[in-house]
Amino acid sequence: MNIAIIGPNCAGKTTCAKRIAKEFGLLRFSLGQMIKDSIRNHTLLGLMAHPYVTRGNFVPDEVANAALEEKVSANTEARGFVFDGFPCTLYQAVYMIDLLHRHSMNLNGVIFMKVSPDTTFERAFARKSTDEQIEKTPESIAVRINNYKNVAESILRLFAHSTSFLAIDTENPSESVYDEVRAFIKGVENNTFVPPPVDAIEKEIDQFLASYRLTEKTPVSCPLNLVIMGPPGCGKGTHSAFLSEYLSVPTLSTGNLFREHLKDKTPLGAIAGAFINKGRLVPDDVTAAIVKKRLNESDAMHGFILDGFPRTVPQADALDIILTASSRTLDGVIYLNVSDEEILFRTAGRRFCPKCQSTYHIQYNKPAKEGICDKDGTKLIIREDDKEETVKDRLQAYRRQTLPVIEHYRQRGLLQEIIANAEVDVVRNRMFESTRSIIRRKHREPLNMK
């Protein structure tokens, strides 16, 4: 006999699975426990899984399925299995059913333990952590909740139509919950379980999906994966710095990344430098490789702000590939829309510190001492990029290359456009409101059921 227990985080799946395994003589399979043990022991599985678990993401299906196959294939003589919190995705579910069939076994029943996202939050931080290697943060819990929301419907409907299915509310855990589970398993084992009508199960699933969302009583300080876009001189660097502090995530400027690679004489810097020294644009694949390296550093794993990338549609496609490879997605794009006349006025007064890369303006953001960087005392310069003819050329290139990217993100529903022909404080407040809108959309909107 094989039983799967599925549901959101902290629904009580593991507690129930351990009791089932002991009472019914089943072998417990817990992918979560295997991963924790592997991380603790620094095995290959642990090294592969750690970045995903830290961010609250599912490990790749291939990794999960390989672990399942190893466990099942090595224990074909077992009386049966209780799958603790597995499967997590539809692909894992289909793979598990096929694997059991290949070993002349069936999935006899599924127990769906329901709990709300708010309860998941409450329980997650009430429990004592036993795994110091896995950082638990509000952000990672929120990611887990939203990941579950994205995959729940397909798995629930598959099992509701293909095997004996019990949905049970565990908001208020008690002995009666396990009594109901025990009765279900005995009924499945003795072929006496009478399932409710499929329509009733479907209605229960619909109700769960419609209500499964975070509410305002759950605090979510949410690092985001953002792109800041706009013409040269629109204030991306200035406003990215404010937003970086507000969200506690790093700002990644492609200009700074190029300079760092050139300074450190890295292989990527050498390739980029060969184009920069000739006054040519760095190819998209080189730029993407430099951005990928930075995005995969530890401080960017829990959120980032990209300034200056992507500039072209191929770069936007490359960013999707980079993020997908590490189970991340782009949460939003903030577009600072500024007129050409305002850009020319702003860049004419901009001053730059060649040592620390700080930017000043003779009217909007003056240094304490004229012409001198506040941070390190270096003499400020006018960058070649800020000269009028250069700016006009850059604006033409921007319209040709980057406006299509803005439309690309607008069509995907990711774009937040801000009219940025205004004082710094006004634009900053508009950016904060756009950011809060992205947070609400990411964490608090109901599941969009199609």
Catalytic residue among 13, 213, 311, 328: 311
CA distance 294 to 17: 41
- Residue 221 reports pLDDT greater than 60: no
Annotation says 13 is catalytic: no
Domain presence at residue 288: yes
Residues 303, 417: one domain? yes
Residues 294, 438: one domain? yes
Domain presence at residue 267: yes
Annotation says 311 is catalytic: yes
Domain span at residue 292 reads 225-443
CA dihedral 353, 354, 355, 360 (to 10 degrees): 10
Domain presence at residue 35: yes
- What is the reported pLDDT for 75? 94
Residues 149, 297: one domain? no
CA distance 116 to 114: 7
Annotation says 394 is catalytic: yes
Residues 232, 181: one domain? no
- Domain endpoint, select from 156, 183, 211: 211
- What is the reported pLDDT for 444? 55
Catalytic residue among 36, 149, 213, 236: 236
pLDDT in tens, 301-357: 878 999 989 989 999 999 999 888 877 889 999 999 998 888 888 788 888 898 888
Annotation says 236 is catalytic: yes
Domain presence at residue 314: yes
pLDDT in tens, 265-281: 889 889 988 887 777 77
Annotation says 19 is catalytic: no
Residues 203, 231: one domain? no
Domain presence at residue 448: no
Catalytic residue among 136, 383, 410, 440: 383
- Residue 132 reports pLDDT greater than 50: no
- What is the reported pLDDT for 225? 92
pLDDT in tens, 253-269: 988 898 889 888 889 88
CATH code (residue 62):
3.40.50.300
Per cent of the chain over pLDDT 70 is: 92
Per cent of the chain over pLDDT 90 is: 42
Strand partners, 305: 226, 251
Residues 172, 70: one domain? yes
Residues 45, 142: one domain? yes
Domain presence at residue 219: no
Overall domain count for the chain? 2
**Measuring CA to CA, which residue among 430, 442, 441, 443 is closest to residue 228?**
430
Residues 89, 189: one domain? yes
Catalytic residue among 18, 394, 441, 444: 394
Domain presence at residue 245: yes
Residues 257, 178: one domain? no
Catalytic residue among 350, 351, 430, 442: 350
- Domain endpoint, select from 211, 239, 266: 211
Residues 239, 197: one domain? no
Does the N-terminal peptide bond of residue 51 adopt cis geometry, omega within 30 degrees of 0? no
Residues 101, 7: one domain? yes
Domain presence at residue 216: no
Q: Tell me the pTM.
A: 0.55
Residues 270, 192: one domain? no
CA distance 38 to 120: 24
- Contact indicator for 156, 101 with CB cutoff of 8 Å: no
